[in-house]
Amino acid sequence: MSEQARRVSTAGLYVPLLLGAVVTVTLGVYGSVHTPTGIAVNVAGFSSPQTVKVWLATGAALLALVQLVSALSMWGKLGSPPSWIGGLHRWSGRFAFLLTVPVAVHCLYALGFATYDTRTLAHSLFGCFFFGAFTVKMLSLPKRGLPGWTLPLLGGAVFTALIGLWLTSSFWYFTTIGVNL
Amino acid sequence: MKRNGPLLTLLAGLALAAVLITVNLTVTARGGDEPDPAGFGAPPATTAPATTAPAASAPPSAAPSAEPSPEVAPAAKVNAVWAGTVDGGGASIAISVTDGVAVAYLCDGRKAEVWLQGTAADGKLSLTGKKGAILTGAFGGGKATGTVAANGRRWTFTVKAVAKPSGLYRATATVRGAKVVGGWIVLPDGSQVGVVSVDDVPRPAPAIDPATGAVTVDGAKLTAAPVTGALA
């Protein structure tokens, strides 16, 4: 992508980075200021809101792995990429993102930014960071003339944050409470 | 179109979040300070009770008297103690109600604990604690069921009514200048779960003698008393 650009500059990143920071800070501030309600609407078919979130997050984490592999393929790290790999990357990413939204809404609305222990603190920080990083990634995609490391770096940040979120929530749930629907 | 794709993705997520928040606000605001437990898809048990409570004639979602304020004297005098393990294990909860004044204690026996206080009336539990801790639930038919949200965590529970010596015990004292607050849940099988906080630093509590409430904390002899009525 950077080969096509005439001028390589990080200037195009300023606005996405700014907006991403706004998203992250807004989520953190809302999570801290809003009094947690303790409850929120649930998705039918699960035994509790917690299990809904656990499985939505697990779905998103699995799609994130698809993201990682398809991104590696798009960048030619796994041999010549098939024609459909771009579509797979885009749509798996969209679904992953949409799966995270109800989880985040429940977290922020019902629970808030928590510093109860290392796990919840890390989870809160990852959560705020994830949506900011995702915003930066999305807003950077259409920009031309960005350095070649931009998208791998941003994608890696988003991926790391999501896996961190999953480890501090769903994985913790599975190993502490058990695997149930 | 292709260049707008990422932006549309972001906007779709934003729209989804907006819809969910709107639904949340609508559902949780309907009952005022006392959200309808059915609104979050709680297990069926929450709809079953509420019939054995005195004067439970009002519709469940429209009870105006269920504000989580310990000062309000409830019309129906409820007296009960429920205790047991939360769903999924990992923590125990006890709720003691004296003349409609409810005190709940949830702890894991290691370091996590939360005290809540509020009301039990019309088959509904409504308690609050420090740092925004909330307990909402329902009772009747010899059991209490509900949800506790505290310290960024949530627990759900369905626990049975218990009789002495099972129940909720609390001890407060000042030991060598340190404020000591201990809470114990004694379960029907005789097991105990307790946490004692010394100057707000929680740690596992030594066992109490359920018959007398005697316990030794940091070399000081304390007496844990059954919780009856509002916390001091």
Nearest to B40 among A40, A112, A135 (CB): A40
Q: Where are the domains of chain B?
A: 37-161, 167-226
- Residue B72 pLDDT more than 60? no
For chain B, positions 60-79, list CB contacts with chain A under 8 A.
Answer: none
- Whether the per-residue pLDDT at B115 is higher than 60: the answer is yes
Pick among A4, A50, A89, A101 to test the B interface (most B CBs inside 10 A): A101
Could you tell me if B161 and B81 are in contact, meaning their C-beta atoms sit under 8 angstroms apart?
yes
Question: In chain A, where does DSSP find H-type helix?
Answer: 14-33, 49-74, 85-106, 118-140, 150-166, 172-176
**pLDDT-wise least confident of A15-29, B12-26, B69-83, B96-110:** B69-83
As a whole number, the mean pLDDT across chain B is 76
Q: Chain B: residue nearest A94 by CA? A: B9
Q: How far is A80 from chain B (nearest CA, A)?
A: 23
The alpha-carbon radius of gyration of chain A (Å, integer) is 18
Contact B198, B180 (CB under 8 A): yes
Confidence band of B66 (pLDDT split at 50, 70, 90): very low
**A111 to B148: CB separation less than 8 angstroms, yes or no:** no
Which chain A residue lies closest to B16 (C-alpha atoms)? A101
Q: A49–B41: do the CB atoms touch at under 8 Å?
A: yes
Q: Which among B60, B232, B190, B41 is positioned nearest to A49, based on CA atoms?
A: B41
Backbone angles phi, psi at B106, to 5 degrees: -120, 130
The nearest CA of chain A is from the CA of B213 a distance in Å of: 30
pLDDT at position B105, please? Answer: 94
The arithmetic mean of pLDDT across residues B68-72, rounded, is 42
CA distance readout (Å), A2 to A147, A150, A151: 6, 10, 11
Q: How would residue B41 be classed by pLDDT, with cut points 50, 70 and 90? A: very low
**pLDDT at residue A39, rounded to an integer:** 60
pLDDT in tens, B121-146: 888 898 988 888 899 988 888 889 99
Instruction: Judge whether A71 and A152 are in contact, CB under 8 Å.
Output: yes
At residue B39, the pLDDT reads 33
Return the number of CB contacts < 8 Å for A and B. Answer: 113
Sort out which chain A residues have CB atoms less than 8 A from B151's CB and list them: 114, 116, 120
Residue-level length of chain A: 181
User: Which residue in B165, B169, B128, B170 sits closest to B150, CA to CA?
Assistant: B128
Q: Report the distance separating Cα A103 and Cα B45, nearest Å.
A: 25
Residues in chain B: 232
Q: What is the percent of chain B where pLDDT is above 70?
A: 78
Q: Are B206 and B185 in contact (CB under 8 A)?
A: no
- CA of B183 to nearest chain A CA: how many angstroms apart? 20
Under DSSP, the state recorded for A31 is H
Write out chain B residues lying below 8 Å of A112, CB-based: 132, 152
Give the least confident one: A64-73, B11-20, B61-70, B110-119. Answer: B61-70
Contact B28 A35 (CB under 8 A): no
**How open is the CA angle B41-A129-A85, to the nearest 5 degrees?**
85
**Confidence band of B28 (pLDDT split at 50, 70, 90):** low
Complex confidence, ipTM:
0.82
Is residue B179 left, alpha or beta, with left meaning phi > 0 and alpha meaning psi from -120 to 50?
beta
Q: What is the sign of the dihedral through the CA atoms of A120, A121, A127 and A128? A: positive
- B227 contacts B168 by C-beta, under 8 angstroms: yes
Q: Give 10-residue mean pLDDT values along chain A (181 residues).
A: 61 91 92 71 61 88 94 89 90 93 85 78 93 94 88 94 92 77 66
Q: Look at residue A45 in the predicted model and tell me its pLDDT.
A: 56
Q: Which residue of A has its CA nearest to B43?
A: A47
What is residue A47's predicted lDDT score, i.e. its pLDDT? 60
